[in-house]
Chains A and B, each alone.
Chain A
């Protein structure tokens, strides 16, 4: 390779990089300020069985959690103005058949009435995050609630469509395990992605679903549980999605796109040359 060619190639590369940089600057807006909390839970695709009973498994700790802030439940009576659980870290994984979601949150004391729950919309119908309560101008759907309480030591698969309609389903599909250590609860819920039960949320890899969270600090204050029933820490709807299988057909389309573009160049140059000769 001659020295001249080398210089040309270097110059071209610099120009190309500069062009890319300029295009990037034009094409991208800076991210909005103050976006510190997450908007979605990602269920990472893994192989083999899920560590549903080993809450300190390396597989859990290697996942970057999503974090959601929580508020006292003020939407309907009985309200509460101050709650123990202020935020929750959420990790998730699935293996194409089952899913597991870990909720990790701070609670200074371990109490038998401590509880945590996940809530989902069922099907495509929108449901209000407060137990799927009725909306005035929109026909709402039901919600599916996965409820775990320390003293039960297991999960309850529940349904609701409006206040005072919350009840355990006939068919129980959810499992849960919780462990408290040094002021932090780790609770893992697990379930098959698809249950075949109409009352359940069905998780299809690649599709977005809505999820919300709730927590109760069951600490006894003067013989009464600090938080119970509608007095709890809550979030409104966020998103959850099971990671889809990698789709290699995308690369076929990319190659096709490159081939079409190169063909277009070839014919364009040939046309201009012909025009010049005429």
Chain B
């Protein structure tokens, strides 16, 4: 196969196979929107490359122009041309329909999972020593107050977790408490779901406002027990420097 157009076609197919099937063998599958973006970039790059000179431009665009005008065409090419000319308006019509048709899907919710805490909860450190005794007490309090939702195994799968949207956090997930500082957890436990800012959608959260029921000392110890039980460490200022 020769000619810039055919080469671009082969390049595109190769890119697609690579992104869709080969890359996921080594990493997580790529979302369709990202694959589309990469393919669009490939087309743009090929066009820039082949159309740098006047001759290249003619080589690249010529076959497209001849295909569209149907000059000297016969057989399969004619059929393909008719199909393309029929398909394009139908695609536009279909696209119009899908954009306008009433959707059965509720509006998307862009809830921020870890919104910024209020200033007074930034940089607080746990006033209690990380002793075995304090950790054990924290785990006991966790079992009594937190485990019904967040689970005895710290995995967010407690017996009361099923009815809530959003679901309770899984502390074993590296995207939750391992990314946060102790002062952040102190805020979230103390003020609960209703303490979230608007981007955290406080009206949906079932997390109790524990300051009404638990003293600060218990909350700090629960945090200790939570990290220990989930096998995670809090993020600290030192690590960020």
Residues of A at under 8 Å CB distance from B?
Answer: 4-5, 8-9, 11-13, 15-16, 19, 25-29, 39-40, 42, 68-72, 74-77, 79, 81-82, 86, 121, 126-130, 133-138, 140, 206, 208, 233-239, 241, 244, 247, 250, 253-262, 265, 268-269, 272-273, 275-276
Whether A262 and B89, one on each chain, are in contact in the complex, defined by CB atoms closer than 8 angstroms, is yes
Give the chain B neighbours of A13 by CB distance below 8 A.
83
B86 CB, min distance to chain A CBs, angstroms? 9
Known: A74-B206, A234-B163, A239-B106. A265 touches B83 (CB 8 A): no
Inter-subunit contact B88/A40 (CB<8 Å): no
Q: Which residue of A has the minimal Cβ distance to B206?
A: A75
**B54 part of interface (Cβ distance < 8 Å):** no
Any chain A CB within 8 A of the CB of B14? Answer: no
Q: Which of B20, B65, B80, B206 contacts A236 (CB 8 A)?
A: B206
Contacts of A265 in B (CB 8 A): 85, 88-89
Q: Are A129 and B204 in contact (CB under 8 A)?
A: yes
Judging by beta carbons under 8 Å apart, are B159 and A81 in contact? yes
Given the known A-B contacts A71-B160, A140-B203, are A260 and B83 also in contact in the complex, defined by CB atoms under 8 Å? no
Contact B102–A40 (Cβ < 8 Å): no
User: Is there contact, CB below 8 Å, between A128 and B202?
Assistant: yes
B82 lies within 8 A of chain A by Cβ: yes
Say yes or no: B90 contacts A258, CB within 8 Å.
yes
Given contacts A68-B163, A70-B163, A72-B148, contact A250 B101 (CB under 8 A): yes
B195 touches A137 (CB 8 A): yes
Identify which of residues 48-101 in chain B touch chain A, using a CB-to-CB cut-off of 8 Å.
Answer: 65, 68-69, 71, 75-76, 78-80, 82-83, 85, 87-93, 95-97, 100-101
Q: When A and B form their complex, what is the total count of cross-chain residue pairs whose Cβ atoms lie within 8 Å?
A: 169
Task: Tell whether, in the assembled complex, residue B203 and residue A208 are in contact, meaning their CB atoms are under 8 Å apart.
Answer: no
Please tell me if B114 contacts chain A, counting CB pairs below 8 Å: no
CB atoms of A272 and B68 under 8 A apart: yes
The reply to whether A254 and B160 contact each other, CB–CB distance below 8 Å, is no
Q: Which of B89, B163, B165 contacts A261 (CB 8 A)?
A: B89
Q: List the B side residues contacting A81 at CB < 8 Å.
A: 148, 159-160
With a cutoff of 8 Å between Cβ atoms, the chain B residues found around residue A28 in the complex are 32
**Complex alpha-carbon distance, A254 and B128, angstroms:** 67
Please state if B202 and A236 are interface contacts (CB–CB under 8 Å).
Answer: no
Q: B162 in the interface, Cβ–Cβ < 8 Å?
A: yes
A129 touches B85 (CB 8 A): no
Residues A260 and B197 in contact in the complex (CB < 8 Å), given A234-B163, A236-B165, A236-B206:
no
Judge whether B172 is part of the interface by a CB distance below 8 angstroms: no
B80 / chain A contacts, CB cutoff of 8 Å: 12, 15
A2: min CB distance to chain B, Å: 11
What residues of chain A lie closer than 8 Å to B89, measured between beta carbons? Answer: 257-259, 261-262, 265
Contact A12/B102 with A74-B208, A128-B194, A254-B93 known, Cβ cut-off 8 Å: no
Q: Is the CB of B164 within 8 A of A71?
A: yes
Task: Say yes or no: A15-B83 contact (C-beta < 8 A), given A250-B97, A269-B69.
Answer: yes
State whether A253 touches B194 (Cβ < 8 A).
no
Shortest distance from the beta carbon of B180 to any chain A beta carbon, whole Å = 19
Please name the residue on chain A nearest to B91 by beta carbon: A261
Cβ-closest chain A residue relative to B107: A208
Q: List 9 A-B contacts (CB under 8 A).
A: A25-B20, A70-B163, A71-B161, A81-B159, A128-B202, A134-B194, A135-B203, A236-B164, A237-B165
**What is the minimal beta-carbon distance from B234 to any residue of chain A, in angstroms?**
24
Are the C-beta atoms of B197 and A261 separated by less than 8 Å? no
Distance in Å from the Cβ of A74 to the closest Cβ of chain B?
Answer: 5
Complex: A25 Cα to B36 Cα, angstroms: 11
